[in-house]
Amino acid sequence: MLSIITEKTKKILISSKFRNLIFILFIIFLSVGLFEALILSPQDYLQSDSVRIMYVHVPSAWISLGIFSMMAFLSLGVLIFKNKNFVLISKSLAPSGFIFNLIALVTGSIWGKPTWGTWWAWDPRITSMLVLFLFYLLYLLSWKLFEKKKAVKISSYITIIGVINVPIIKYSVDWWATLHQPSSINILSESTIHSSMLIPLFLMTAAFALFSVLIFLMKYNVELIKVKNKGLNRI
């Protein structure tokens, strides 16, 4: 049963039609999202137009956190079930997670200058995001530095240890005195952000999520075809 599901999932993941669909959706969401974020959305009463950086900064941070959590979950599966497909999925997720983490750090730094008057502060949220960036870096480096068997184990441990940092990032604004404001969007209670800002934020989040899916699909195909190339050598 599991092998049938795996095969069907694999078929979707390597389908070029599915990839093209994701690409088209990404372009649509990005175009509408950019128009909303840069033109239609209102200025903030305090931060003025600099608030528009939020529409790239926040989705990037969310997605980098989400991807790392998924990687940790898959790594647990790798260590327990020795599932090779989980290794490929986790490895294929890492590049987009890393780039989104980098975007969150850099755009956060750019946003910090007009808002706080500094490019960088050793604030708990920023520092914990930097730690996550280092974990992403370690994960990617582990695949470059070690041979495959060792890399599978080491990269899995890196994500499992690194995922401890995810709740720290999430709750850092509540646990410590920080330059960041407490979260404005809550799943369980009403959001404190107006719909005119919420709509572009969700559109950009959808666009970024679609982009990460697109990169994941391409990277997954690269990794899978590498495995198949080795397989052809053995025939």
What does the binding site for other proteins look like in residue numbers (CB under 8 A)? Answer: 7, 10-11, 14-16, 34, 38-39, 43, 48-50, 52-53, 56-57, 60, 95-96, 99, 102-103, 106-107, 110-111, 113-114, 211, 214-215, 218-219, 221-222, 224-226, 228-229, 231-233, 235
Say if residue 23 is exposed, middle or buried (CB neighbours under 10 Å; 0-12, 13-18, 19+).
Answer: middle
**DSSP state at residue 48:** B
Give 137 or 160: the residue with its C-beta nearer to other proteins: 137
Least distance from C-beta 136 to other proteins, angstroms?
A: 13
Listed in sequence order, the residues at least 6 apart from 179 whose beta carbon sits closer than 8 Å to its beta carbon are 112, 116, 121, 123, 125, 126
In the complex with other proteins, the residue whose CB is nearer, 183 or 223, is 223
The C-alpha torsion from 205 through 206 and 210 to 211, rounded to 10°, is -30
Q: How far is the CB of 56 from other proteins (least distance, A)?
A: 5
Which of 60/155 has CB closer to other proteins?
60
Q: For the chain, what's the residue count? A: 235
Closest approach of other proteins to the CB of residue 96, in Å:
7
What CA–CA distance (Å, rounded) separates 10 from 85? 9
Which lies closer to other proteins via its Cβ, residue 24 or residue 225? 225
